[in-house]
Amino acid sequence: MSRMPLLEFEGVRLSNSDLRTDIRGALLKIEPHEMLNESLGSVAISFNPLIGTIRGLHFQVEPFAEEKVVSCIQGSIFDVIVDIRPNSKTFGKWSSFELSSENGLYAFLPKGIAHGFQSLQANTIIHYCLTSIFSQESAISINPFDDIGIDWPISNITISEKDRAGMTLSMATLKYAASLGTQ
């Protein structure tokens, strides 16, 4: 698989948050309703105490497929997306970018984009706004070391057994297509 420029991914957008700082600290304001095509289903926060932690690559199939707005509210991450949409021109391709509390960027990810990240700093915190609730039956994990070819920046990693044992990209794309009724 090959890495593609982020701008090639239809529907994926990076935006600047409204970050305000003063002597007290900072306020990071994100307007997910401006990006999400559906109403907000849930909010999730990921705490990552160790440098090199990999989470993902995750997505959900229908009827719980979800749009996501992802931001890093503390620390920084190497954020990775993989396109699993069968009719997309970037199908099977991946891209990466950095999200951090310093750069204030956040990402909008449409349905059909698998997402994962590696923490670049200790005690990194990620905030998600999701258009669907979590469904164990619909949740899919793709092995981040599959033949996708992601060049993770930190070699000393921490990863869950579930993510390490995730399915191949080809199997995951078949599951996603089947949930749409298009195989």
What residues are labeled active site?
Answer: 58, 128
Token pair belonging to 139:
């949740």
Angle at 94 between CA 88 and CA 99, to 5 degrees: 120
How far apart are the C-alpha atoms of 122 and 6, rounded to whole Å?
26
Max Cα–Cα distance, the chain, nearest Å: 55
**Torsion angles phi and psi, residue 110, rounded to 5:** -75, 170
Strand 42-48 and strand 54-60: the pairing is unpaired
